Structure 1
């Protein structure tokens, strides 16, 4: 997706060296996602306010205001930018965070504390503010400054590390807020404005377009065992300090919360990423109502479809998401979903990448019914799936096992290396060589079976297919490879009309499919 040398970072300003793949502040808050407690005599009133705010956010219709259909000239576009910025910036706040001990004193106490800044968006008139979790993570004090210079100490209501979102509360009423737009209707090429506080320059507005949708840039995975990334990509300038700020359309509707940038310099290079507003709305509503996100899970292990695998499944094109494995006692297994199914859509929304499926499912709660369309045995099948939460023992056990799954240990009787002159077997006439797996291979690739692809000859059928040297060959035409001795038999067919689909795993754990064509042998 991006050049391997390009650095992707969350854009919160902080005193650290730029150049690593990271979310900008340290460790997870250690105790509870609900970080705000009140005295017993105020609790009933607080619960009523929270519930009212949560219902107001959840039940409010999407902001249906639309940008002007036609802008006659540059001045007209300028007027639209101006009016949109004016309607939004009052509801975007400046956040200052103190990270470190909240009690004690003395020289060493002061040296342990540090400050950072970010942005937030008021989403309800009663003072609820959404921001990025990495902005306020491990904060001992959170101060918010409104656009009109009013200052408040904020309390953490709750957070969701899977989406890098957090909700704050300030003691104020009748505040301006940004209405939620429908991010499902955002299109590539439409104008958007980013509003925030880059480099401590408060109430800064930048303009750009939507560059891409459903981006997965692997930035949240450093802070969560179950990351959900379905970013809106924009070239509107987003810089350190913009984290948690608003991405709005020209109607002034919130379509995203700015979260990260891809950069080699540490500042904007035209690649910004925002959490889509429909996911934000779902998370915010749950946090206000319950102090945590109540998320439903399918209970599947999935991967993106390739053209080769689509051909093997009989699909007309590379579409959908492949179910590699599933939990029999979880939502997917109970509903009749099978390993090998290709999920095409959920509730009539097409999914063509794993992160898209995760985002759609994450927008629903335990108990919600989903209409899931899959491709099975050469045709479409529709299933009704009722989502289960982590309070379900099967789901919790399966998730815990997937998250904590250990890398296979090296067997003591296996060598750390191999001797190419004796261990590698040529696979003729296909033009590559394989050897048995070592303990080191199993550890590094996270696999238990397969064979190691030791070399690929130039101008060979394997080279023509793109088979990479240094990968693990796991299956041929859907048959698992357990040893080198199987290879010759599985690749015995070599007439001009035949081909073979090879499934290999790379060092990053991602599987790929390659097609060996017999016609290339002639």
Structure 2
């Protein structure tokens, strides 16, 4: 049967419609988003600069993805974590209550003027536990003039603390708490092994944010920034860019082994907060200071007896040195340690015990780490050649230094500088006297014969000068202090140190009564228990 023209047109139309429908379905399948499933999430879209950007979302399987970070970076991340876990329990929060030092305030009520007592000042700082018995190192400026000290451990235990001793020359102090159980201690590292560029971690309590950990590198070593306000200031700081802020003072600076390498002390800033320049006292100096403070209550520091200056290009050329190095000896104190060892004005100290010395503060720090009586080997430059000298250090109470020290304790003067201090000085020419110390270890004191300077300063003709009082010894327990003259022992006048020793040893009383005289002329009595 012949097909009509009408039927053919209908068939063609249906075919075109079918093709259109199939094409539409295919287009939808190709361009439509994938169906959501358990592993698929919608991606949020945000506008950046007028362009819509889709942000990826982490999927449930991302934990199994290949890590992007280099393995060495993951190791460093782990090192920081281990350091924080190791050190944080040993760094404490210190709260200080002291009396304000500003001018007194008065209140006016008609014609009546009433005195208002000074208000108490509260401040905070940090400290590092050094012994299980509760000895804590911090900065001297943190506990200065403290009337009450409260220490809070990271586990929130709190203790009252007392000052064991301070050292203004290094801005260090030791305080102690009486804990009910052994405390965690910070392992000590060797700050001499630090190099510029080493990673370091600072732990402390900035802005009362307790147990804060920051990281940085060693930016410089041996820095002197003139921030310690003391005649005998010793600055040999580690400089770091680890964030240090108010409240960090006295906190820990540690290496990536978690070992203490410095005590955070100060920052250089114009804003009052962190600007990238922090300074820490190195542990090699800190250990020396802390040991003496715990044992004696003060630092027994050796002195060379010289004034020192920088070596610049002009001076090095004049001294025929092949390069700019060392520290120039401007003046040698007659009868002092350097003089007895054969050092002369114009020598250049190149090294101490093999350690290169290229700055005055480096020499000061090296000497300050030794006690009176200890020796050190100096390599010096003289007359175009190197020589070696061995020096036995003397203490500040040595007779050869007495007049020099007395000048320093008088009115400030630009020419009055301590032994081993930078700058010129005019040493006195009086001959040295005997500086032998009579040690009485059973009593915990050291005595010395009076010098003319002592007789004038104390207003006495006879007696024995108290050089040191051993911390925790019998004399210390009785309240005796150093830098006084012992005038009587067992109610008998004392002629000199040897006489005082005889009277101590011959006394039969359970408690020996002693009398001392201070520089202001006042006397004091103490009863010392017999050994």
**Post-superposition offset of 1:109:** 6.8
**Post-superposition offset of 1:265:** 1.0
The answer to whether the aligner puts 1:121 opposite 2:120 as a matched pair is no
Partner of 2:278: 272
Partner of 1:312: 318
- The whole-number CA distance in structure 2 between the counterparts of 1:202 and 1:362 is 33
Which TM-score applies when normalising by structure 1?
Answer: 0.62
The answer to whether the aligner puts 1:151 opposite 2:158 as a matched pair is yes
Partner of 1:76: 75
Q: Aligned-residue CA RMSD in angstroms?
A: 2.3
Q: 1:326-369, CA deviations, whole angstroms, 9 ceiling, x for partnerless residues? A: 20111111111101000001111111000000000000000001
Partner of 1:381: 387
The answer to whether the aligner puts 1:347 opposite 2:353 as a matched pair is yes
Partner of 1:188: 196
Maintained 8 Å contact 2:243/2:274 = yes
Unaligned stretches of 5+ in structure 1? 1-70, 102-106, 410-444, 449-522
Secondary structure of residue in 2 paired with 1:124: coil
- The whole-number CA distance in structure 2 between the counterparts of 1:344 and 1:334 is 19
The answer to whether the aligner puts 1:93 opposite 2:95 as a matched pair is no
Larger relative contact order, structure 1 or 2 (CA cutoff 8 Å, min sep 6): 1
The answer to whether the aligner puts 1:401 opposite 2:407 as a matched pair is yes
Partner of 1:167: 174
Partner of 1:23: none
- The whole-number CA distance in structure 2 between the counterparts of 1:251 and 1:325 is 43
Residue in structure 1 matching 2:224, options 216, 224, 227: 216
Give runs of aligned pairs for residues 472-487 of structure 1, distance below 5 A. none
**Post-superposition offset of 1:446:** 9.7
- The whole-number CA distance in structure 1 between the counterparts of 2:266 and 2:153 is 23
- The 3 A distance-change label for structure 1 pair 163 and 407 is closer
Partner of 1:456: none
**Post-superposition offset of 1:391:** 2.1
**Post-superposition offset of 1:165:** 0.2
- The 3 A distance-change label for structure 1 pair 241 and 274 is same
Secondary structure of residue in 1 paired with 2:365: helix
**Post-superposition offset of 1:406:** 5.9
Give runs of aligned pairs for residues 319-468 of structure 1, distance below 5 A. 319-402=325-408, 404=410, 407=413
Secondary structure of residue in 2 paired with 1:73: helix
Q: 1:269-325, CA deviations, whole angstroms, 9 ceiling, x for partnerless residues? A: 110000000100000000101111000000111011001100110111110000011
- The whole-number CA distance in structure 2 between the counterparts of 1:170 and 1:407 is 40
**Post-superposition offset of 1:112:** 2.2
- The whole-number CA distance in structure 2 between the counterparts of 1:347 and 1:400 is 31
- The whole-number CA distance in structure 2 between the counterparts of 1:231 and 1:96 is 25
Residue in structure 2 matching 1:287, options 282, 290, 293: 293
Partner of 1:141: 148
**Post-superposition offset of 1:399:** 3.1
Maintained 8 Å contact 1:304/1:321 = yes
Secondary structure of residue in 1 paired with 2:243: coil
- The whole-number CA distance in structure 1 between the counterparts of 2:411 and 2:317 is 31
The answer to whether the aligner puts 1:234 opposite 2:240 as a matched pair is yes
- The whole-number CA distance in structure 2 between the counterparts of 1:267 and 1:112 is 26
Q: 1:217-274, CA deviations, whole angstroms, 9 ceiling, x for partnerless residues? A: 0000x2x110000000000000000000000000010000000000111110110000
Maintained 8 Å contact 2:330/2:424 = no
Secondary structure of residue in 1 paired with 2:75: helix
Maintained 8 Å contact 2:331/2:424 = no
Question: Number of residues paired by the alignment?
Answer: 338
Secondary structure of residue in 2 paired with 1:118: strand
Secondary structure of residue in 2 paired with 1:98: strand
- The 3 A distance-change label for structure 1 pair 368 and 165 is same
- The whole-number CA distance in structure 1 between the counterparts of 2:414 and 2:283 is 40
- The whole-number CA distance in structure 1 between the counterparts of 2:233 and 2:424 is 20
Maintained 8 Å contact 1:88/1:178 = yes
Maintained 8 Å contact 2:307/2:425 = no
- The whole-number CA distance in structure 2 between the counterparts of 1:274 and 1:73 is 28
- The whole-number CA distance in structure 2 between the counterparts of 1:174 and 1:236 is 30
Maintained 8 Å contact 1:127/1:170 = yes
- The whole-number CA distance in structure 2 between the counterparts of 1:116 and 1:154 is 15
- The 3 A distance-change label for structure 1 pair 169 and 266 is same
Unaligned stretches of 5+ in structure 2? 1-69, 101-106, 108-114, 416-422, 427-531
- The whole-number CA distance in structure 2 between the counterparts of 1:77 and 1:381 is 46
